[in-house]
Structure 1
């Protein structure tokens, strides 16, 4: 047998390549638009909050995302690898069980991350150089940890070949951030 194996009909290969390039274009467009929205939100937040307020926001955001990242159970690869096998073999019940398990792991890791972040923010505050009044902002802001878990939903969309929805999904967070900044600006709010 020659290496690599010869493909008898080039038409299926062309169809696969068309899908790959189409999915790549969708994802790239989604990433590009998300970056533009994110930069707009950052610029408006920096302008609205000033350098001190914006710096405090960035520090709290970094703390929240660091704790979320440490506690994250990233099961996206598990969903794609084993979910594809279940789909290919028609084992719908096994796929549902896998998705339920991964959902519970994601929810559990998000809850642990939120609890850990809330418990540690007070004792760490003096060591991080945060002003004491920042604690009043940091505690409710840590809820963002619950929304930092997006690997599994994206993996399910990839598994189901819904790269169009993956591109839209990538736009949600920057769009919500931009709307939030615009609403805060309109209300004259700060941290």
Structure 2
């Protein structure tokens, strides 16, 4: 067993972090927190608007603050943004404050899942397939670095991935609490 106060999902866009995370939170009695949504709530602006006004670097600063805010608590099921692992402080914080699950997904599955999605600023940079391949090349080593467990979600429905992951977590993760 690997005790940790929180469960954290990392992985690329389209891996299922939010949909699987909501289901896991319910199953394990955890409070669900989507870091991207926390950024939106704290800034009072959409991610696209944040990118337009302060760029990716400005968004990453806000993402880092939101992640620290969420992980200061315990009993959370945290869905991170795909790029949260780019920051070494974020990686360290995730490893200290949670059991980290890397939801892996191939580019072909991402393209299908994100086919109609126009809300992601990084996919506005031209050839979607090439953008996804480039993001994977840069980020996958970081996902692997922080992961306590990996699940390939290609070909799995959110419900199927949740069931598989819940079984794996039952034998590998135990919720820990700090002494009061």
Bigger Rg over Cα: 1
Bigger strand share: 2
Provide the TM-score with structure 2 as the length reference. 0.31
Provide the TM-score with structure 1 as the length reference. 0.30
